[in-house]
């Protein structure tokens, strides 16, 4: 199952990106994640940041494949529900060869909903053999 966690890019620069996602009750996650009390799972906050990072890297470089390596710290301050809009700011902290490190903040109504520290992403220049094989099967 695939989740589109970025609806729009608001702003992008050489060191940051700002995106928006409007959470709809029609999101597939709400069918399985607490259907009688829908709340956005924290793993989709990670996915929101990862998709924002993908867009940032594709804006600043040629299209490449971004592999999520991990996050040092994730702190959720506020639950998010269908109907909420989330505004995500991702800042580039460092870049060494093909490894990027970012910090991110997710807002809801100008209140911090979550913070992520040291989100590490590795960029692959070419598709791996596994990805090429997978693509050929489609």
What is the greatest pairwise CA distance in the chain? 46
Q: CA neighbours within 13 Å on the CB side: how many for 96?
A: 2
Distance CA 133, CA 117 (A): 34
3-state helix vs strand vs coil in the chain, percent to 5? 25, 45, 35
Question: Coil, strand, or helix at residue 110?
Answer: coil
Q: Tally the residues of the chain.
A: 138
108 is catalytic: no
Residue among 33, 115, 117, 120 flagged as catalytic: 33
Please give the positions annotated as active site: 33
């Amino acid at each position: 199952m695939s989740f589109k966690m970025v609806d729009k890019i608001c702003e992008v620069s050489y060191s940051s990106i700002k995106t928006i996602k409007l959470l709809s009750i029609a999101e597939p996650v709400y069918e399985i994640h607490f259907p009688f009390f829908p709340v956005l799972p924290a793993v989709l906050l990670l996915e929101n940041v990862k998709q924002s990072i993908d867009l940032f890297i594709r804006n600043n470089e040629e299209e490449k494949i971004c592999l999520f390596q991990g996050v040092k710290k994730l702190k959720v301050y506020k639950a998010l529900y269908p109907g909420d809009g989330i505004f995500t700011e991702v800042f580039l902290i460092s870049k060494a060869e093909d490894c990027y490190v970012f910090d991110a903040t997710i807002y809801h109504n100008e209140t911090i909903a979550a913070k992520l520290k040291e989100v590490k992403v590795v960029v692959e220049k070419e598709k791996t053999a596994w990805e090429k094989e997978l693509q050929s099967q489609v």
